Copies of this chain bind each other. A is one copy, B any other.
């Protein structure tokens, strides 16, 4: 099916999901919308996140997508159930794939979660993990500085390092698996891994979500069967300088992935 996979996020974090979709499903077209104007969603109240998410969804539905990925943990926490119920295309959030991957990987059943305040306070990961396996012990930690820091393009360097160390020092020491419960966090994965040591396996909700989109598209016979390179479309609601920088430099779309990519400003 040649229709696109729609991807929405509060800003640039969801680009890690788009990147993984393009890597794992190179034949699929992506239409991405990042609400950079109103980012971050993490500290916003539930009804506001819901409203903003619906604005984005409506923008993508006009572009006739075959599946919707909510590439934002906060938006997934607040809107997944509602969107699954109301849309007649598969809706995939980023929480459940990360939870299932962690259940697969953990040996000790002690799993850590880091995310925005919204995601952590919503308890969405505890619920997703325990729904499947009640034996999992969950250790959550809100990291309110990470997403804004990454949105500024601060992905390495002294100050980022300091913030990541100070935050990760508060994580429970006995976990063997950590879910990066915010799609921004893969962009500072190396820093987080360094602070925790190699005994802890990091689960990228971005990678795992792309993997499950692949599963669902195949099970529902919706994989694209054509072999031409897809023309991806990227939209932002605000300034897109950091956005384009992340697309080009950090995620390396230019070098390793598919072209062409169009980037446009969206009014939603």
Contacts and interface: CB of A to CB of B under 8 A. Distances in A.
A223 B104 contact: no
Interface in A197-233: 207-208, 210-212, 214-216, 218-219, 223, 227
A27 interface: yes
Copies of this chain in its oligomeric complex: 2
A214 B134 contact: no
A219 B218 contact: no
Interface residues of A, number: 28
Interface string A115-159: 000000000000000011111000000000000000000000000
Given A97-B215, A211-B101, A223 B132 contact: yes
Contacts of A27: 132-134
A71 interface: no
Contact of A131 (B90, B101, B207, B223): B223
A100 B24 CA distance: 8
Interface of A: 24-27, 90, 96-97, 100-101, 103-104, 131-135, 207-208, 210-212, 214-216, 218-219, 223, 227
Given A24-B103, A90-B219, A100-B218, 20 more contacts: A24-B133, A25-B132, A26-B133, A26-B134, A26-B135, A27-B133, A96-B218, A97-B215, A103-B211, A103-B214, A104-B207, A104-B210, A104-B211, A131-B223, A132-B214, A132-B218, A132-B223, A212-B215, A215-B216, A216-B219
